[in-house]
């Protein structure tokens, strides 16, 4: 038996990918196929799935209902998309200077700074988001601090009405995904050979032009990786919007969750999750085609 | 316009060391580099040659002293405002740009108009024999080609001075020899002052009009290849450039420009004294191996006796290792110029090594 495996290279290859194949089929292919099948189904009065082929769920998501035009679900989709775009852009703008600062720090200090970036991830995600409730609610840390400052300066103070709101969701998202942007950008910045900055300076580029012509293009792989790591989870989230948005901020993730758990309408929830999947896939493909995965740059 | 392309006047550079101590990389260096000259900064690693070059480029600022480019003091002028360009040891080509974009970069930053850029980029690539490579990326080129792109990228800007930081260090021997000649040709063609950093003495001798030999942050000697080889002013220079023999002894008798030196074992010899010496002073005498002879020769005054310890025959020359009566060892190189050259001695044989007064130089440091 062993002898047989040793001599047969094809068999070796097959045996090596077997565990991965098993995981992919059991945890990805089968559930996804089930979801697709369910999304074309209907529900009966008791909330059971009837497996037929109807596009009704998709039409409803697009706004065509039996009662006429209703853009409720389209708005949810667009809201998720908009929030994901906002989060990604803000995270890039906040992460880049930090990553740059860490990459330009003395080598010994870099690991310590990266460690600090990662420290928040040691606490449970839900607890961290709840911490933001404590900070943002009307009697929270933020308002009492601002109130105290206003009191000292003797100016009138109107407590900020941040929680629950879409802004609070955005803040939570930015907070949550900042490390996932800092790390890949740092990695690509750290890889840039310092002599390239000197070469740019030598060729009459000041710091500003060096940044735009050399630093940014060479750190694109990091920005692309960070964007994928941020955008995809944000567009499908439901926990952060649930906690920080209350019932006010419904995203696709919340829609899917409620259709499955509260409304007992799995076919409609499945259709919503397939729409989310397709949307994410299309955007990611477009994005990576447009900006590349950056390998050819990193390999230089 | 001043007569010097670049002048370093009492330049010092101190860095904070890893343990908080101060490391002095360059110590009171003064250099005058003429316009249109091919000038080499030569020395072992850590001698301050690269730091000196980086200060001319503006990547480092002197801790003390001043650097002038064509008479203009550079002060704290940033690199992007200096009329010099650098060819980096690692080439430092921008990996995300094509060859054409790399070469065009400096002109774009200077705001040269597009047509002119296209023309000059083509011209520069032609000069380094890389026409038609505009659209390629740096990593698609070999090391030697990348090196030439780096040269074109610097020269296209027509700098007043071109700085080269060990540009041939990463190339294999054959390519290095080719590039040495290529660089020399380019320099003659464009007429720009080249300042070249290298640790390879042969490279420096081959290419440069003048050489500054550096050690421990100090410029020990500046001169032509011939000057430095024939008239080294200290032990380090004599040892670093080419091969040489050192004989330690004491001054026994002083004449106007020569002195009699007594070696251990009661041997004495006459040597040329470029610096003033006094009787009793401990000195070193340097004699190049090719200026010593085993062959009988009536004109050479100095004669020291020894025994042949080893013989290396390399065709053009034969090298004899000789241990002198006082115990010091020397190497003698005899040229095999005769039509039918034979060995002049066998191992273990007693020989008389001869050399002229002029061939022997007294070094005091």
Taking only the tens place, the pLDDT of each residue in A254-285 is 999 999 888 889 999 999 999 999 999 998 88
When scoring A195, A199, A210, A221 by the number of chain B Cβ atoms within 10 A, the one with the most, hence best to mutate, is A199
Summarize chain B as % helix, strand, coil (round to 5). Answer: 25, 35, 40
User: How much is the average pLDDT of B340-365?
Assistant: 88
- Look-up of token digits 């089930």: A34
Q: Number of residue pairs across A and B with CB atoms under 8 Å? A: 67
Residue B298's pLDDT is 64
Closest partner residue to B96 (CB to CB) among A201, A202, A217 is A217
List the alpha helices (DSSP H) in chain A: 2-7, 9-24, 30-39, 56-62, 72-104, 107-118, 125-136, 141-153, 166-191, 194-202, 207-210, 216-235, 239-245, 252-261, 266-291, 295-299
A-chain CB neighbours of B57 within 8 Å are 198, 202
CA–CA separation, B144 and B165 (whole Å): 15
* B58 contacts in chain A (CB < 8 Å): 201
Residue with the larger pLDDT of the pair B299 and B239: B239
pLDDT band at A299; cut points 50, 70, 90: very low
Averaged pLDDT for residues A143-167: 88
The answer, yes or no, to whether residue A298 has pLDDT greater than 50, is: no
Question: By CA distance, what is B159's nearest residue in A?
Answer: A203
Contacts of B112 in chain A (CB under 8 A): none
The predicted-structure confidence for B286-297, as pLDDT tens digits, reads as follows 999 999 988 776
> How high is the pLDDT of residue B227?
93
| Residue A170 vs residue B338, higher pLDDT | A170
Residue with more model confidence, B169 or B44: B44
Taking an 8 Å cut-off on Cβ atoms, the answer to whether A201 and B80 are in contact is: yes
Q: Which residues of A touch B139 (CB under 8 A)?
A: 299-300
Please report which confidence band the pLDDT of residue A300 belongs to, taking 50, 70 and 90 as the band edges: very low
Residue-averaged pLDDT of chain B: 91
Residues of B with CB under 8 A from a CB of A: 57-59, 78-81, 84-86, 88-90, 92-96, 105-106, 109-110, 137-139, 153-154, 157
Instruction: Please report the pLDDT score of residue A293 as a whole number.
Output: 63
* Residue-wise pLDDT tens digits, A14-30: 899 999 999 999 999 99
The alpha carbon of residue B40 and the mean position of all alpha carbons in its chain are separated, in whole angstroms, by: 5
Instruction: Tell which of B82, B95, B139 to mutate to test the A interface (max A CBs under 10 Å).
Output: B95
Closest listed residue to residue A61, CA positions, set A275, A278, A281, A283: A275
Say if the Cβ atoms of B92 and A300 lie within 8 Å. no
Q: What is the pTM of this model?
A: 0.82
- The answer to whether the Cβ–Cβ distance between B95 and A209 falls below 8 Å is no
Report how far residue B220's alpha carbon sits from residue B42's, in angstroms, rounded to the nearest whole number: 10
- How close A185 comes to chain B (CA, Å)? 17
Contacts of A236 (CB under 8 A, 6+ apart): A80, A252, A253, A276, A280
Average pLDDT score over chain A: 89
pLDDT digits 0-9 by tens, B10-26 = 999 999 888 888 999 99
A9-13, B49-53, B119-123: the lowest-pLDDT one? A9-13
In contact, A188 and A294? CB cutoff 8 Å: yes
Confidence band, pLDDT 50/70/90 cuts, at residue A97: very high
- At A11 the pLDDT is 87
The band of B268, judged by pLDDT with boundaries at 50, 70 and 90, is: confident
Output the pLDDT for position B2.
59
């Amino acid at each position: 038996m062993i002898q047989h495996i040793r001599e047969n290279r094809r068999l070796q290859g097959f045996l090596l990918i077997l565990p991965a194949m098993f995981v992919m089929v059991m945890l990805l292919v089968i559930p996804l196929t089930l979801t697709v099948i369910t999304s074309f189904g209907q529900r009966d009065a008791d909330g059971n799935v009837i497996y037929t082929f109807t596009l009704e769920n998709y039409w409803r998501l697009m706004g065509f209902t039996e009662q006429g035009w209703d853009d409720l679900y389209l708005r949810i989709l667009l809201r998720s998309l908009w929030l994901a775009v906002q989060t990604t852009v803000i995270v890039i703008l906040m992460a880049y200077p930090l990553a740059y600062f860490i990459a330009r720090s003395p080598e010994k200090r870099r690991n310590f700074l990266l460690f600090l970036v990662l420290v928040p991830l040691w606490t449970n995600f839900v607890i961290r988001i709840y911490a933001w409730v404590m900070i943002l609610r009307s009697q929270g840390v933020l308002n009492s601090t601002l109130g105290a400052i206003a009191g000292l300066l003797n100016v009138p103070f109107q407590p900020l009405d941040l929680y629950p709101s879409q802004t609070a969701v955005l803040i939570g998202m930015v907070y949550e995904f900042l490390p996932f942007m800092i790390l890949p950008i740092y990695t690509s910045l750290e890889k840039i050979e310092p002599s390239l900055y000197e070469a740019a300076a030598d060729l009459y580029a000041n710091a500003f032009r060096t940044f735009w012509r050399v630093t940014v293009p060479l750190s694109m792989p990091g920005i692309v990786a960070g964007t994928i790591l941020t955008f995809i989870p944000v567009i499908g989230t439901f926990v952060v919007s649930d906690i920080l948005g209350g019932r006010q901020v419904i995203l696709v993730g919340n829609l899917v969750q409620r259709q499955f758990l509260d409304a007992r309408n799995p076919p409609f929830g499945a259709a919503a999750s397939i729409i989310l999947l397709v949307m994410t896939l299309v955007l990611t493909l477009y994005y990576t085609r447009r900006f590349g995965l950056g390998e050819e740059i990193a390999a230089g | 316009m001043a007569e010097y392309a670049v002048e370093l006047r009492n330049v010092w550079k101190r860095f904070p060391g890893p343990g908080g101590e101060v490391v002095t990389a360059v110590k009171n260096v003064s250099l005058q580099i003429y316009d249109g000259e091919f000038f080499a900064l030569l020395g072992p690693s850590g001698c301050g040659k690269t730091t000196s070059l980086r200060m001319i480029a503006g990547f480092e600022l002197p801790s003390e002293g001043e650097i002038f480019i064509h008479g203009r003091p550079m002060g704290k002028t940033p690199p992007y405002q200096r009329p010099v360009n650098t060819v980096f040891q690692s080439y430092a080509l921008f990996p995300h740009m094509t060859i054409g974009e790399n070469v065009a970069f400096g002109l774009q930053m200077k705001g040269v108009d597009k047509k002119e850029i296209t023309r000059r980029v083509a011209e520069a690539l032609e000069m380094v024999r890389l026409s038609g490579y505009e659209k390629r990326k740096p990593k698609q080129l070999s090391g030697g080609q990348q090196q030439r792109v780096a040269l074109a990228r610097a020269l296209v800007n027509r700098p007043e001075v071109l700085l080269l930081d060990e540009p041939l260090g990463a190339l294999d021997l054959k390519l290095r020899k080719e590039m040495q000649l290529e660089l020399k040709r380019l320099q003659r063609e464009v007429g720009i002052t080249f300042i070249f950093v290298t640790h390879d003495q042969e490279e420096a001798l081959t290419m440069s009009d003048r050489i500054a030999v550096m050690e421990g942050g100090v410029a020990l000697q500046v001169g032509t290849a011939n000057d430095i080889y024939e008239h080294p002013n200290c032990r380090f220079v004599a040892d670093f450039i080419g091969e040489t023999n050192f004989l330690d002894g004491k001054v026994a008798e002083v004449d106007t420009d020569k002195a009699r030196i007594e070696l251990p074992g009661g041997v004495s010899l006459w040597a040329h004294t470029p610096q003033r010496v006094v009787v009793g002073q401990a000195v070193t005498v340097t004699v190049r191996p090719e200026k010593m002879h085993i062959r009988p020769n009536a004109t050479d005054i100095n004669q020291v006796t020894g025994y042949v310890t080893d013989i290396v025959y390399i065709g053009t020359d034969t090298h004899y290792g000789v241990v002198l009566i006082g115990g010091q060892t020397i190497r003698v190189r005899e040229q095999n110029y005769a039509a039918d050259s034979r060995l002049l001695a066998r191992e273990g044989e007693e020989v008389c090594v001869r050399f002229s007064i002029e061939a022997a130089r007294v070094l005091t440091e």
